[in-house]
Structure 1
Amino acid sequence: MSAFKAYFADLKRRQRSSLIVASVCAAGVSIAATTLLGLSGWFLAGAAIAGAAGGAVMMAFNYLLPSAAIRGLAIARTVMRYFERLSGHTAAFRALAELRPWLYERVSRTPLRVSQGEASARLVQDVGQLENALVAQSHWASALGGLIAALFLITLLSPVASIIAAAGIGTLIGLSRRVVPTPTTGLPELGALKNSMHETLPFLPDIAAYRLSERVMARLTEQEATLLAAREAQARTESLPVGLNLGVLAATLSLIVLTHAHAAMPMLALGLLVTTVAFEATGPLLKAMAQKRLFAEAEARVAELGDVEAVPPAPRTGSVLRFGGQDYDLGPQARLLIRGASGSGKTRLIEALIGLRPMEEVPGLTALPDLRFSLSPQDAPTLNGTIGDNLLMALSPQEIAAETPESLTARVWAALEAAKLKTRVAAMPKGLHQWIGDGGVTLSGGERKRLCLARALLRPAEVLVLDEPTEGLDAVTEAAVTEAVEAHLKRNGQGLILVSHRSGPRRLCNQELVVDAAFQISRHVG
């Protein structure tokens, strides 16, 4: 069994009691609803006949017991419906509350084998389908409870009526399985559209500059039309059982009326209404049968994310990095420059160093230091949030809780000062609470770079890893940032790993690790 299926099975096992309660309550709801409607039909027809027969018959008609039974069944149905929803959704929410972090943790520490849009669709829509699958486990009990109660009550009209109703329901189920196609969800189409959006958004300035908006919109429009067609097909597929249900129900009711034309009106009303409820009870059953394949497909797609093999632990050698047959000490006084031509694999090396990719993907890397790193990456990613949100990513919840608001604010401003961004943030209308938009769109490239640098400086770590920290900065700002980083390293006793093509920050380093063409060739060959 795969890791995901084993974990998901364990989650369902731990929620078994709640799911059983939901199923029992669902069956009770269907039984109460079926009995309620049948009794209501018998009572109304009987009361109407008694009223038409005259005052003496009407006075003799006992309406108290049926009225009390109707009220009791209505209350019972409401109470059991409440506990069905409470138990079923509680079980689903608790299971998914554990499943989502488990999935995200596995996805975050392993390279994705699908596109970002597809991964997003699986983590949102497919996981939502798994939630629906847990809730839908009570559909079977609901349908069976309603059908058993209905067939028993129809027998009160006559055994023949019960046989006719059973035959009609069997015909409906048989036709639904043969005629109704398996519904589609449109998830692959949605994943493709999301992936296109993920790919397009970072290039909006280029699209505007090169007048590519029409071409991009044409592509997105085509994908949106494909998604719309899939959703329309889904709607048509879901509407077909409704029409089929109505057609078979009409034929079954007509046959019961024809064969029981001389039956007592109250009993005929009971039989017809209960038959109608019986057909309605097949709705959850047919839906569960149709969704079984969808749930299985969703589980298989999520399993592809959850079953990705974890990166095996790399050999650790204290504070020593072993690369190309040489040892590089990364203690508190280490200042290591990783040098090499563009595309030679410097960023890949530091990603392996801090655990973002398997060590086997970097030829020549044989052992990693057992240290805590703080990274300022080359592409300077930012959250769609405030300045403060982006900075506090550097601290764990426990570290934040251990600080007083005043000391935490002081640390944040000190990190901004070290990145030479304090004056800019202080001038913003809301300061640390200033919203910077999706991808930091309200900031310049240099400001985003320094915001990421401030975040790295804020994180307590033994080694600071900077990938092109001054790229996009002017010479004056670069010199100020380099001086501030040097002061920060001395003040905090941190080691430094630097990747930079600029001479300014390189003066901070006292040893070099060269990634040359041989590494680039071996990387491509491997």
Structure 2
Amino acid sequence: MSAFKAFFGGVKASFRTTLIVASVCAAGVSIAAVTLLGLSGWFLAGAAIAGAAGGAVMQAFNYLLPSAAIRALAIARTALRYFERYLGHAAALRALADLRPWLFERLTRADPKIALSLSRGEASARLVQDVGQLEGALVAQSNWASALGGLVAAVLLNLFLSPLAAVICIVGLSTLVGLAHYRFRPQTGAGQAELGQLKQGLFDTLPFLPDIAAYNLKGRFLDGLRPQETALKAARVQQARREGVPAALTLLIMAATLILIVATHVQSPMPMLALSLLVTTVAFECTGPLLRAMTQQTLFDEAETRVAELGDLREAAPLPDADPVLVYDGQVIALDRTLRLRIDGRSGGGKTRLIEALIGLRPIDDVPYLGAATTADARLFALCPQDAPVLNGTVGDNLLMGVTTEEIADTSPNDLTARVWAALEAAQLKPRVAAMKDGLHTWIGDGGITLSGGERKRLNLARALLRTAPILVLDEPTEGLDPMTETVVVSALEAHLNTTGQGLILISHRTAPRRLCSNLLHVR
């Protein structure tokens, strides 16, 4: 059994009792609704006939008991509906509250070569839309009980008219459910893949909003997103049409069933005929959620398949027993804590690609001259990339991305705070953060918009310094800094390396940081 099926099966099992109670409530809602409308139809028709028959008949007509029953059924239906919705959605939401963190953890522990091949839009679509479909699938489990409750109530009440009316009701409802099940199930998803592509297009566009505004490129970028939007619209329209077919089918079969009941019971008492017609109508309405779930079953299955692919991603292999090495153009360089390596080469020559291959962000064979024996594993490195993203959160949120969950659990809050401030001091960002009103808890906005470019760079440097990996990888760590700040940062980096005993791989076109490295690798 796959990891996803085992986990999700356990989650569903833990909420099975709640979902069963929700199904019982759903059946009760249908029974109360069918009985309520049938009794109302019988009561209104009977009261009208009694009123037309004269005062004596009207005085003899007992309207108190039917009125009380109608009120009781209305209250029962409302109460049962509340508990059905509350219990069903509560169970589904709590189940997904367990599922989403588990999926995200699986994604972070997966082999980077596989996990990072998912675009941000695709990953978002699976974690949000597809998991949302699973919520719908869990809630829809009570639809069978709702339809069955409506059918049973309608058949029993139709017996007051005649057994034939009950048979006609059964045949009509069975025909509807059977046709919907075998003929009108959709064959494809409702644009989940298209939505992922559109999201990816938006993710790729958002960083360029200032440039779009400055160069008036709105039309060009909108034209670039239009094909994805058109594809998504077409998929959603197609799905809406598919879901509309069962609704039309319901009306047609219900109309035929009601006409047949009337045609075969023309001579029957009007109150009983009104009861039969109304309970049959409500029974058809009770099948509505079930029919919608049937038309969406393929969507539920596809969503579960896509989420399962995410949950079953292969985990990163353990570090090899052999000492990790970098093999480039015949050179073999040990990747250990004694390493002080500067990677040099012309701009665009592949220095950053080499680093990305080492960390597992791209295949090794994407980099010329990089040997297949090279150990590529992100766990060896603490990376400060040339253009690192900033989390939409607080200063502390961004910094703690460099600390593992195990370290946070094993470190006291005071010690962890001290480590954070030490990293900020080494990155020459401590005075700036200390001057903020909320300190480490200061919200820095989307993409760190409240910080300057140099401050964002140093924030990412501090995050890398917090990670206790064997080798620190710095890609242009002092780019954009003034000479005085750069000198202080380099001295702080040297002290940090001496204190932690970490190795260093450096890419820098600036002169000051180069004194940190004693070895040179030229990328060609």
Scaled to the shorter chain, the TM-score interval is 0.7 to 0.9
Name the counterpart of 2:326.
323
Match of 1:117 among 118, 121, 127: 121
Name the counterpart of 1:380.
388
- Distance of 2:497 and 2:4 partners within structure 1: 43
Contact 1:311 1:357 in 2 (8 A): no
Match of 2:397 among 381, 389, 406: 389
Following superposition, the deviation at residue 427 of structure 1 comes to 5.9
**Corresponding letter in the other structure for 2:247:** V
Matched-pair identity in %? 62
**Corresponding letter in the other structure for 1:169:** L
TM-score if structure 2 supplies the norm length?
A: 0.84
Name the counterpart of 1:9.
9
Name the counterpart of 1:281.
286
**Corresponding letter in the other structure for 1:162:** A
Name the counterpart of 2:162.
158
**Corresponding letter in the other structure for 1:514:** L
Following superposition, the deviation at residue 356 of structure 1 comes to 6.4
Following superposition, the deviation at residue 423 of structure 1 comes to 4.3
Name the counterpart of 1:524.
none
Query: Is 1:336 matched up with 2:340?
Result: yes
- Distance of 2:371 and 2:404 partners within structure 1: 33
Count of residue pairs brought into register by the alignment: 510
Change (3 A) 1:107 1:275: same
- Distance of 2:147 and 2:274 partners within structure 1: 22
- Distance of 1:505 and 1:416 partners within structure 2: 18
- Distance of 1:408 and 1:493 partners within structure 2: 16
- Distance of 1:497 and 1:335 partners within structure 2: 6
Query: Is 1:399 matched up with 2:408?
Result: yes
Query: Is 1:29 matched up with 2:29?
Result: yes
Name the counterpart of 1:521.
none
Name the counterpart of 2:172.
168
Larger deviation, residues 166-175 vs 83-92: 166-175
Larger deviation, residues 349-358 vs 190-199: 349-358
Structure 1: unaligned runs, 5 residues or longer: 518-526
Name the counterpart of 2:202.
197
SS of 1:507 mapped into structure 2: helix
- Distance of 2:135 and 2:220 partners within structure 1: 38
Match of 1:495 among 481, 494, 502: 502
Following superposition, the deviation at residue 125 of structure 1 comes to 0.5
**Corresponding letter in the other structure for 2:107:** V
- Distance of 1:311 and 1:394 partners within structure 2: 19
Query: Is 1:217 matched up with 2:225?
Result: no
Contact 2:184 2:242 in 1 (8 A): yes
Contact 1:26 1:81 in 2 (8 A): yes
- Distance of 1:184 and 1:87 partners within structure 2: 28
Query: Is 1:469 matched up with 2:477?
Result: yes
Contact 1:344 1:515 in 2 (8 A): no
Change (3 A) 1:461 1:114: closer
**For each residue in 1:19-52, what CA deviation from the matched residue of structure 2 results, as whole angstroms up to 9, or x when unmatched?**
2222222222212221222122222322333344
Change (3 A) 1:314 1:429: closer
- Distance of 1:351 and 1:213 partners within structure 2: 33
Query: Is 1:135 matched up with 2:130?
Result: no
- Distance of 1:370 and 1:243 partners within structure 2: 56
Match of 2:319 among 310, 314, 317: 314
SS of 1:497 mapped into structure 2: strand
**For each residue in 1:25-84, what CA deviation from the matched residue of structure 2 results, as whole angstroms up to 9, or x when unmatched?**
222221222122212222232233334434443443334443443344333333333332
Name the counterpart of 2:295.
290
SS of 2:383 mapped into structure 1: strand
Query: Is 1:271 matched up with 2:271?
Result: no
Change (3 A) 1:206 1:75: closer
Following superposition, the deviation at residue 451 of structure 1 comes to 1.1
Larger deviation, residues 150-159 vs 201-210: 201-210
**Corresponding letter in the other structure for 2:258:** L
Contact 2:359 2:378 in 1 (8 A): no
Change (3 A) 1:59 1:360: farther
**Corresponding letter in the other structure for 2:75:** I
Following superposition, the deviation at residue 170 of structure 1 comes to 3.8
- Distance of 1:42 and 1:303 partners within structure 2: 52
SS of 2:387 mapped into structure 1: coil
Following superposition, the deviation at residue 372 of structure 1 comes to 7.5
Contact 2:180 2:294 in 1 (8 A): no
Following superposition, the deviation at residue 391 of structure 1 comes to 2.5
Contact 2:168 2:257 in 1 (8 A): yes
- Distance of 1:487 and 1:54 partners within structure 2: 105
- Distance of 1:13 and 1:89 partners within structure 2: 15
Query: Is 1:244 matched up with 2:252?
Result: no
Name the counterpart of 1:90.
90
Larger deviation, residues 178-187 vs 355-364: 355-364
Change (3 A) 1:2 1:383: same
Please report the RMSD computed on the Cα atoms of aligned residues, expressed in angstroms. 3.5
Contact 1:315 1:368 in 2 (8 A): no
**For each residue in 1:159-183, what CA deviation from the matched residue of structure 2 results, as whole angstroms up to 9, or x when unmatched?**
2222332333344345545775628
- Distance of 2:324 and 2:192 partners within structure 1: 44
- Distance of 1:128 and 1:370 partners within structure 2: 31
**For each residue in 1:445-491, what CA deviation from the matched residue of structure 2 results, as whole angstroms up to 9, or x when unmatched?**
3221111112233456665443321123333332121112223344x
**Corresponding letter in the other structure for 2:10:** D
Following superposition, the deviation at residue 339 of structure 1 comes to 2.1
Following superposition, the deviation at residue 249 of structure 1 comes to 2.3
Following superposition, the deviation at residue 152 of structure 1 comes to 1.9
Query: Is 1:504 matched up with 2:512?
Result: yes
- Distance of 2:363 and 2:71 partners within structure 1: 66
Change (3 A) 1:260 1:103: same
Following superposition, the deviation at residue 323 of structure 1 comes to 3.5
- Distance of 2:201 and 2:123 partners within structure 1: 13
TM-score if structure 1 supplies the norm length?
A: 0.84
